[in-house]
């Protein structure tokens, strides 16, 4: 069966790759499972990109045609859907969003009744009701109830208030006297985020909080914090907060205009928990793309980092397996499992702001607790990525480089998924060593590619 779900739901260019017809069939599959195995109740939320209405209508039609009731949350941050899934005891939650991508992309991702993103096994189970092994759609073969068995659509008018109330219930501190610049990426946090920070007492300077369907993530938000950096310095704010389009990420800017990414946020939060004996197993989870400076930093405080494959789903799985409450990604996708079982940008910001208030320390001082290791990334253009990655000459250069890096560094060599290049990334305390080893491997890749012509 062709792979329907990607690393974070079903994604594509809206109305070209991600068609309303596909959204309808996904709705039928999920609705069927909700009716057969649960209460027949599915939540649907979305971000404000222009194609969200079209895809939401198609998904809802599919759900109700399978007999499931749809609870429409409207435009709302992704983590709110996960939360309300638990509060309203829904069978599934669906979010129509392409997260930090621009407006022409969109996606559909699902949560289970516990507010967790679906496992790959559950995604495959849904996919099996959508398309068969030959690639033919089979969702039309599912039952079609009639009469009073057709699903209904209910609007949850207080969805944003539910989410805001939950966030405020986790905060036992005041931001009175603090000035904060908030960049909402013209996305789903545009209404909720400023309300929450102002309710805590902060003076909020709001930017990029006027979504029009096409300006989501456009040169703003967590992937483009340049506007935020300028605004923080210009206004003399204590900090800047950048959310992404669907609200599951957050990037901070300190009072000097420097970026505080997810790794540094994890370090600040973990150190605070370690100092207060509140970090289970003295450990957190992070992906292999987190900087090794995070591991080095926590080690000096008696903490441990367990590294996972890329993706927040892998991070959460590691957290559950090891009984951890904190994990995340360098991108600012951070999970506080004792509050919510998915990345939550506003919640993560509250936790960091709380540490700032309690410690009475500027964010720059807190962020300085972690020193990132130097990194170097080199891309080498090649004719055949697969052949290069099986070349014994290249593999020997990689083995030698990894051995020389030892435990204090690392070397990643991977073919690009979209370009005819091989990427070599090195990371260690000594940039001289990193530069030499990365260049040696890059030379080996280039030589092997050239040898293919001879």
Q: What is the C-alpha to C-alpha distance for residues 122 and 109, in angstroms, rounded to an integer?
A: 12
Q: What is the C-alpha to C-alpha distance for residues 141 and 300, in angstroms, rounded to an integer?
A: 59
Give the residue carrying structure tokens 């659509």.
153
Q: Name the catalytic one among 97, 99, 331, 348.
A: 99
**Is 219 one of the annotated active-site residues of the chain?**
no
Q: What is the C-alpha to C-alpha distance for residues 1 and 338, in angstroms, rounded to an integer?
A: 37
Catalytic residues: 99
């Amino acid at each position: 069966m062709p792979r329907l779900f990607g690393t974070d739901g079903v994604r594509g260019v809206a109305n070209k790759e991600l068609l309303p017809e596909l959204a309808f069939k996904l709705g039928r599959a999920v609705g069927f499972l909700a009716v057969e195995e649960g209460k027949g109740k599915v939540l649907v939320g979305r971000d404000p990109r222009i194609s969200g209405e079209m895809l939401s209508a198609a998904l809802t039609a599919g759900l109700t045609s399978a007999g499931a009731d749809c609870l429409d949350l409207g435009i709302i941050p992704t983590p709110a859907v996960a939360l309300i899934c638990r509060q309203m005891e829904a069978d599934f939650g669906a979010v129509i969003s392409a997260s930090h991508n621009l407006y022409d992309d969109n996606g559909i991702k699902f949560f289970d009744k516990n507010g967790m993103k679906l496992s790959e096994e559950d995604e495959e189970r849904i996919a099996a009701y959508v398309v068969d092994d030959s690639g033919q759609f089979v969702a039309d073969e599912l039952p079609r109830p009639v009469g009073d068995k057709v699903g209904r659509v209910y609007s949850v008018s207080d969805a944003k208030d539910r989410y805001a109330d939950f966030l405020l219930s986790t905060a036992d501190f005041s931001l009175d006297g603090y000035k904060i610049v908030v960049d909402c990426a013209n996305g789903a946090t545009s209404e909720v985020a400023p309300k929450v920070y102002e309710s805590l007492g902060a003076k909020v300077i709001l930017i990029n909080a006027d979504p029009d369907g096409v300006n989501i993530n456009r040169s703003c938000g967590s992937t483009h914090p340049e506007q935020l950096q300028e605004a923080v310095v210009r206004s003399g704010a204590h900090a800047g907060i950048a959310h992404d389009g669907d609200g599951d990420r957050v990037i901070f800017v300190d009072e000097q205009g420097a970026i505080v990414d997810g790794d540094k946020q994890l370090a600040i939060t973990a150190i605070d928990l370690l100092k207060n004996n509140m970090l289970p197993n003295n450990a957190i989870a992070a992906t292999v793309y987190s900087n090794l400076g995070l591991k080095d930093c926590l080690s000096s405080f008696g903490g441990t980092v367990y590294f996972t494959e890329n993706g927040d789903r892998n991070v959460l799985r590691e957290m559950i397996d090891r009984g951890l409450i904190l994990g995340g990604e360098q991108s600012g996708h951070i999970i506080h499992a004792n509050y919510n079982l998915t990345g939550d940008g506003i919640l993560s910001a509250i936790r960091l702001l709380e540490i700032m208030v309690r410690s009475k320390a500027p964010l720059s001082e807190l962020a300085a607790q972690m020193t990132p290791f130097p990194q170097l990334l080199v891309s080498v253009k090649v004719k055949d990525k697969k052949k290069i990655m099986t070349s014994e000459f290249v593999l020997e250069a990689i083995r030698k480089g990894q051995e020389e890096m030892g435990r204090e560094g690392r070397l990643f060599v991977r073919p690009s998924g979209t370009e005819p290049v091989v990427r070599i990334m090195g990371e260690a305390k000594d940039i001289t060593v990193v530069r030499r080893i990365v260049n040696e491997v890059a030379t080996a890749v280039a030589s092997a590619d050239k040898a293919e012509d001879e």
